[in-house]
Amino acid sequence: MWAMTERDGRAAPEAEKRLHGVRLRKYIDVVVEDRSSSMLFRGAIADITESGMRVIADQYLPKGTRYIFTMKRTPHLSLRGEVRWIKPFERDTFQVGVYFVEISADASKRLSSFLEIERTRLTIPG
């Protein structure tokens, strides 16, 4: 089954639609690891959902490539993700759309709990 993506109107497989549809905008420092070349570099998660995230990086990450993304703050997860899209950002940086692959049940539960806590915290009137 195919569905239209919200962003650009192009068709995308139903399985690729974001879970829950709500993105948490939260900057989390991340280390990106390419195990095939033993390269490590830094980035920042700009927003995150249960199924993927948008990362700001100063390295070009080719579409279709898989990396290990290790969050340096809560929820302190290391997740394998596949680059689905990449766009130039500002000052020699890139926005990278990452879809989580091979996520363990424990990591998925921890990520969901973190996102729920953060969403609740952000919606409590101050």
Domain boundaries defined on the chain = 21-123
CATH number for region 21-123: 2.40.10.220
What does the radius of gyration of the chain's CA atoms come to, in whole angstroms? 15
pLDDT higher than 50, residue 6 = no
Supply the DSSP symbol for 18: P
pLDDT higher than 60, residue 1 = no
User: How would residue 58 be classed by pLDDT, with cut points 50, 70 and 90?
Assistant: very high
In this prediction the pTM is: 0.77
User: Token pair of 80, please?
Assistant: 């394998």
Average pLDDT, the chain: 82
- Residue that wins the pLDDT comparison between 117 and 15: 117
